[in-house]
């Protein structure tokens, strides 16, 4: 039980130290909060870096590694541009309203 209390105290202390950084997304418009309050995009990009570089035994140098990482970033950006939030999540009520407002062509 005591180890659980230590864990909770540690988590509370960590949150107290970084609460401002955790709530920075409130500065932006409310409709952008859902995208900004998570690190899913960063985590996904890091996972893709690892997936692409792990099978490589040797890299031809630092510049080659930077080129590979830049290519991965560009590929991910193209994927995100071709799958905007309104297109991907239209089944959720919040995103449906947002998609209708921002991504539907008005005639």
pLDDT digits (tens, 9 = 90+) for 23-42: 877 887 787 777 666 777 78
Which run of H or of E encompasses 61? none
Could you report the per-residue pLDDT of 44-89, keeping only the tens digit for each?
Answer: 888 998 998 888 888 888 888 889 889 998 988 888 777 665 454 5
Tokens at 7, concatenated: 């864990």
Q: 96 CB contacts (<8 Å, ≥6 apart)?
A: 90
| Separation between Cα atoms, residue 17 and residue 91, nearest integer Å | 37
DSSP, res 106? P
Residue that has been written with the tokens 């997936």 in this structure? 51
Examine the pLDDT at 107 and tell me if it is beyond 60. Answer: no
Selected residue with higher pLDDT from 8 and 32: 8
Q: 95 CB contacts (<8 Å, ≥6 apart)?
A: 85, 86, 88, 89
Phi, psi (5° rounding) for residue 31? Answer: -70, -15
| Separation between Cα atoms, residue 85 and residue 103, nearest integer Å | 9
Tokens at 99, concatenated: 């998609």
The stretch 1-7 carries a mean pLDDT of: 63
Residue 91, pLDDT score: 46
Which run of H or of E encompasses 90? none
Residue 98, pLDDT score: 61
């Amino acid at each position: 039980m005591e180890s659980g209390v230590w864990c909770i105290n540690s988590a509370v202390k960590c949150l107290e130290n970084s609460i401002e950084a955790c709530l920075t997304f409130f500065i932006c418009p409310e409709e952008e909060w859902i995208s900004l309050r998570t690190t899913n995009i960063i985590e996904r990009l890091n996972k893709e870096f690892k997936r692409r570089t792990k099978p490589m035994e040797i890299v031809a140098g630092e510049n080659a590694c930077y080129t590979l990482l830049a290519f991965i970033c560009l590929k991910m950006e193209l994927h995100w541009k071709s799958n905007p939030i309104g297109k991907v999540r239209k089944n959720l009520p919040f995103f449906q309203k947002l998609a209708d407002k921002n991504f539907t062509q008005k005639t």
